[in-house]
Amino acid sequence: MMKRYFFFILAFFCFLLGLVAGAWRRTTAFSSTQVVYRIETQKLKTSQQVFFEVHRLDKDVFQIKNEATGEVFQASPQITGKASLRIELPGKEGALVLTQGFLPWQKAKLTVQGNTYRTVGETQLLKANEDWAKVSQAQPKVEMKNISLTDDAIRQINQHFANWLATSRYGKGAMVIQTPLNVTASSQGLSWTTVTTPDGTLLGRLVGTPVADSLSANQGPFAIDQQTVDRDRFETYPSTVDLAALGLVLGSDAVNDYQSTSVFRVYHTRSKEHGILTQEQEFAQKVSAYGSYQDYYSQQVDANQASYQMVLADNGVVYEVSNYGLEGKFDFAQYKEAPSDIQKEYQKLLNQFGQ
């Protein structure tokens, strides 16, 4: 009798343990960035077989791939329950719903909802590998050779991009600053400032205090990223770079043609300020009271929040560096392509305001 009683007590304890484990698993559901969820669906009108892949990139962003079209996009899902996430598909084609099993041994289930597709297969759990990541991170690029931009068009692009950035997941609740590249860079004479991107060296702007309106009329000293060079190397350098910040006129002799403000810094302040400023406004209203950008960032910027610098480039791509300005680091050499939602917004603006 005691053995049977002990058996029931043990079984009940295991059941409770399973419920606790299941609840814990549901609260941490889908947290792994090493898993790709894959589901087979069928288009209702054409009976076409379509596979969708869902991959978590970070805390707030999932990446979705339509294998039939090759389309890749990123989205922040809606939380529809303690163990359920809903991701809207583009073009109002329905939604993908990822649901964690109630018990700890039950795997996650990916389904499709809406009037465009129906789920026809079981959820596959794949390990995220380098090949998948390379495909997923590839960004479409605008063919800039067919687009002509006036000075007014560039101003419009910068303004609209700043407005979008301030309401995006990157700039929401943050300060967005339209600025020249690497605002703390300086030079006794004239110096080109650059950054390195996956597509080559990007020319950011001309730094220093020119004594004449043309490059050829200035006497130096001359430098590239604070490294001294001779006049010939300095004057021909813009023709050797791979790309430039939007707004630069490569090949021009005019000093003013090498000043671009198609660069945006994003940071969160400890006082939770939110707004859009130019670099001049930021310095006058905020930085000047602290004496330097280094002191302003160290005392006012929340280092626990993301910080970025983004460059709109003349090849139709946005490049970024994260943690910009934190720990006194303002001059980063290695940039990467920004996420696809940023690229899409830039491309939309190029097509909207380009001629």
In a domain, residue 71? The reply is yes
Do residues 243 and 282 share a domain? yes
Domain that holds residue 327: 144-353
- What are the tens digits of pLDDT across the range 216-240? 899 889 999 888 999 999 999 998 9
Residue corresponding to tokens 């589901």: 39
**Domain total in the chain:** 2
Same domain, 170 and 33: no
Under 8 Å between Cβ of 124 and 108: no
- 183 plus 317 within the same structural domain: yes
Same-domain pairing of 151 and 128: no
The pTM of the full predicted model, rounded to 2 decimals, is 0.62
Residue 244 contacts residue 202 (beta carbons within 8 Å)? yes
Q: How many CA atoms lie within 13 A of 326 on its CB side?
A: 17
- What is the structure's pLDDT at 103? 54
Does residue 186 form part of some domain? yes
Among residues 87, 106, 137, the one where a domain terminates is 137
The one-letter amino acid at 223 = A
For residue 187, is it within any domain? yes
**Does one domain contain both 82 and 100?**
yes
Q: Let me know if residue 319 belongs to a domain.
A: yes
Same domain? For 322 and 219 the reply is yes
286 within some domain: yes
How far does CA 279 lie from the centroid of its chain? 21
Same domain membership, residue 120 and residue 236: no
Axis-axis angle for helices 151-167, 340-353 (nearest 10) = 150
- Give yes or no: residues 153 and 187 share one domain: yes
pLDDT tens by residue, 274-314: 999 999 999 999 999 998 888 999 899 998 888 899 999 99
Within a domain: 173: yes
pLDDT band with cut points at 50, 70 and 90 for residue 22: very low
Residue 70 has pLDDT above 60, yes or no: yes
Q: Which residues contact 304 (CB under 8 A, 6 or more apart)?
A: none
Domain match, 253 and 310 both: yes
Among residues 137, 156, 190, the one where a domain terminates is: 137
pLDDT for the residue numbered 130:
45
The answer to the question of residue 124 being in a domain is: yes
158 and 288 assigned to the same domain:
yes
- Domain ends where: 85, 109, 137? 137
Within-domain flag for 250: yes
